[in-house]
Amino acid sequence: MAFWANQMPVGMRLRSSWEASHIADPKGALTLDAFGSVEGNHIGKPIPLDRFVEYGLWYQKKAVPDVDRRQVVRVEQNGRELKLTLSDGERFSSRRVVVASGIGPFAHRPKEFSKIPRELASHTVERNNFNGFKGKKVVIVGGGQSALESAALLKEAGAEPEVLVRESSLNWVGLHARLHRLGPLSKLLYSNRDVGPAGISRLVSLPHMFRRFPRKFQDKVAYRAIRPAGAGWLRHRLEGVKISLNCKVVEAGEKGSRLQIRLDDRTERVVDHCLLATGFQVDLSRYAFLAPSLLQQLQTVDGFPVLGRGFESSVPGLHFLGKPASWSFGPLLCFVSGTEFAGKELARFLTKGNGIANGNG
């Protein structure tokens, strides 16, 4: 839960629905409902970030109480095995390594900001609160949930935010609640995984079916399922926030102690800070613990590993979960609601003659 606790802004709420925010477990016993019941505390909707972090830590203590908290600093090949080096210097080998290390290293910083210091332009993962922005002018680059919720939080912290969006309009989710109350018809249109609009939601909830379609179709559907969008419940909190559409940053530079930004519509902004809500781009080389020799052997496409059954990469015994698995298995793997499929697929692969069942785990 370190990423959620330390690299997401205080006051944030989850965009995903209650049903899509349970971390999966084999017996379905470690749900948000169970957590709320055991702890005797009400969990608001949309789910507050701090409560979700508490839930995640509660889940960990129930499911895997003996977690080894040492960091893995290197993974490399050692014959038919993979050798791991830990932060305290211990080394050992394993037939299989499952990488589920999140998206933190993949934060995308546009080239226009490559020479701008973090004090003037920071990615959303670098700011977990906006307490120091009262009275400051801040531009937010992006048009998704991260950008819009950050703008709302900045406004509520006393800042003067402006959102810069490349598209001609904003996308919103959760505005058609009635479509989810049509009984059997709604079940045909939507999966409870809550990824994507009507129809697409059903398709992406079935990764093995999804990955059989032509690549161009997969890419088009995946983008439609997770295109930048804000939750409908944010709209009233954005009243009074300036949102500029159809504009793209083409240049950024320091101007004294402030930041000057030039847009493609030839207008400029001089602000105190720029917040980059520019998403994440998977690039396995940013996992610093993967040895260069190992990276050279990995088959990748645009930074994503090419994975087969059980999320196994082209390096035998090396598996990837989460967003890195989404090129091969679809956008469901980017979300908490994908943990059920991921867990079952990995367990099925490992226990059917591929390692653990043969005593080679």
Integer Cα distance of 216 and 206 in angstroms: 18
Which part of the chain is CATH 3.50.50.60?
Answer: 72-105+282-358, 108-171+229-276
pLDDT computed for residue 360 by the predictor:
39
Give, for 229, the enclosing helix (H) or strand (E): none
pTM for the predicted model, two decimal places: 0.93
Tens of pLDDT, residues 209-258: 999 999 999 999 999 999 999 999 999 999 999 999 999 999 999 999 99
pLDDT computed for residue 46 by the predictor:
95
pLDDT computed for residue 359 by the predictor:
38
The ranges of the chain with pLDDT < 50 are 356-361
Q: State in Å, rounded, how far the first CA of the chain is from the last one.
A: 26
Tens of pLDDT, residues 92-114: 999 999 999 999 999 999 999 99
> Which residue from 17, 52, 20, 12 is spatially nearest to 36, judged by alpha carbons?
52
The correct CATH number of 72-105+282-358 out of 3.40.50.280, 2.60.200.30, 3.30.750.24, 3.50.50.60 is 3.50.50.60
pLDDT computed for residue 182 by the predictor:
72
**pLDDT more than 70, % of the chain:** 96
> Which residue from 152, 156, 138, 123 is spatially nearest to 261, judged by alpha carbons?
138
Strand partners, 290: 75
How is domain 108-171+229-276 classified at the CATH fold level?
Answer: FAD/NAD(P)-binding domain (3.50.50)
